[in-house]
């Protein structure tokens, strides 16, 4: 069985984030090391575009996370957590994020791309990897 077929069976051929039934594609949840269905989600083009282009984000589209965050599938939980983190300036997204309880392994995966980390966390993250961070360099100010 291909990953796509496996995901179609798992999701009943619906976007695993917003339940759309058209333009569905396999999305590998970064950082994937091996291509298994467990590390992929089946998502629609609308979701994919907004995941990959944060500047195109349509806040209302992501109300769907209210449902998808309760998925039993770790990869779906990870994507829900990351998108809620990206949207957490919205009160409802912050509320949902606080309701989510990921197990330790899933949370580590969710945080692997530093999505939703505060500036301080990002800097710490870079430092611990030995990267040099120039003053005023590309870390957006939250002020
Ligand atoms: Zn979708």
CA distance 143 to 136: 13
Q: Is 17 helix (H, G, I), strand (E, B) or coil?
A: coil
95, 115 in Cβ contact below 8 A? no
pTM: 0.80
Q: Which pLDDT value is given to residue 35?
A: 80
**Would you say residue 133 lies in a domain?**
no
**Would you say residue 141 lies in a domain?**
no
> 101 C-alpha to center of ligand 1: Å?
22
Q: Which pLDDT value is given to residue 38?
A: 96
CA distance 111 to 64: 21
Residues of the chain where predicted confidence (pLDDT) is lower than 50: 122-126
| Pair of tokens at residue 123 | 């800097």
> 24 C-alpha to center of ligand 1: Å?
8
Q: Which pLDDT value is given to residue 137?
A: 57
Residue 77 lies in domain: 3-128
**Would you say residue 122 lies in a domain?**
yes
Q: Which pLDDT value is given to residue 114?
A: 83
> 18 C-alpha to center of ligand 1: Å?
4
How far apart, in Å, do the first and last CA atoms of the chain sit? Answer: 50
**Would you say residue 142 lies in a domain?**
no
**Would you say residue 46 lies in a domain?**
yes
> 80 C-alpha to center of ligand 1: Å?
11
**Would you say residue 73 lies in a domain?**
yes
CA distance 123 to 82: 19
Q: Which pLDDT value is given to residue 98?
A: 96
**Would you say residue 44 lies in a domain?**
yes
* Count of structural domains within the chain: 1
Q: Which pLDDT value is given to residue 76?
A: 98
**Would you say residue 114 lies in a domain?**
yes
> 126 C-alpha to center of ligand 1: Å?
32
> 114 C-alpha to center of ligand 1: Å?
22
> 66 C-alpha to center of ligand 1: Å?
13
């Amino acid at each position: 069985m291909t990953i796509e077929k496996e995901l179609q069976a798992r999701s009943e051929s619906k976007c695993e984030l917003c339940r759309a039934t058209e333009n569905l594609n396999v999305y590998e949840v970064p950082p994937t090391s091996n291509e298994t269905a467990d590390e992929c989600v089946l998502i629609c083009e609308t979701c994919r575009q907004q995941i990959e282009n944060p500047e195109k984000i349509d806040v209302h589209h992501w109300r769907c996370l209210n449902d998808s965050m309760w998925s039993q599938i770790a990869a779906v939980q990870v994507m829900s957590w990351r998108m809620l983190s990206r949207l957490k300036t919205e009160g409802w997204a912050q509320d949902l994020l606080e309701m989510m309880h990921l197990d330790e392994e899933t949370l580590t995966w969710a945080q692997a791309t530093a999505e939703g980390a505060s500036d301080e966390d990002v800097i710490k993250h870079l430092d611990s990897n030995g990267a040099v961070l120039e003053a005023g360099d590309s870390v957006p100010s939250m002020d």
